[in-house]
Amino acid sequence: MDLRITIAVLFILITGGQSLKCYSCTSILNSVCDAKEETCGDGFTKCFIGTVTTSAGSITTKSCSKADETCVTVNTEVLGQKVSSRCCDTDLCNGADGVFKGSFLLLLCPLFFYTLFH
């Protein structure tokens, strides 16, 4: 097998076994959600972010989640309260900016190795 393909496959297999990392916090009525990185345990395959906004303020929760428990995408208004939630499955994807950071670099690594050994 070509050395470049072997290295690319090996790299993907090595990085694929890592646990998911999510931000975890709960804010209380307009306070800042002091998010800390959390390594998700077995069975937790998604990151969750949920926000409830009322006339008094907003509450935000971020955590690891099991796909079948809380991972429902919602964006609605109920009795004058805005409710929104979403789930994602890449490291630290439930941050404030909602942009996945590590996965983009992970996708570029095989391209780098291919260019390096080509």
- Burial of residue 103 (number of CB atoms within 10 Å: 0-12, 13-18, 19+): middle
Neighbours of 113 (CB within 10 A): 17
For residues 9-14, give the mean pLDDT: 55
- Confidence category of residue 14, pLDDT binned at 50, 70, 90: low
Please provide the average confidence, as pLDDT, over all residues in the chain.
Answer: 79
Residue 48, pLDDT score: 93
- Burial of residue 42 (number of CB atoms within 10 Å: 0-12, 13-18, 19+): exposed
pLDDT digits (tens, 9 = 90+) for 75-108: 999 888 999 999 998 999 998 643 444 555 566 6
Please report, as a single letter, which amino acid is at residue 55: S
Distances 60 to 5, 9, 36, 56, 97 between C-alpha atoms, Å: 44, 39, 14, 13, 14
Residue 99, pLDDT score: 42
- Burial of residue 56 (number of CB atoms within 10 Å: 0-12, 13-18, 19+): exposed
Percentage with pLDDT > 70 across the chain? 69
Higher pLDDT, 43 or 11: 43
Domains in the chain: ranges and CATH: 20-100 (2.10.60.10)
Higher pLDDT, 98 or 33: 33
pTM to 2 decimal places: 0.64
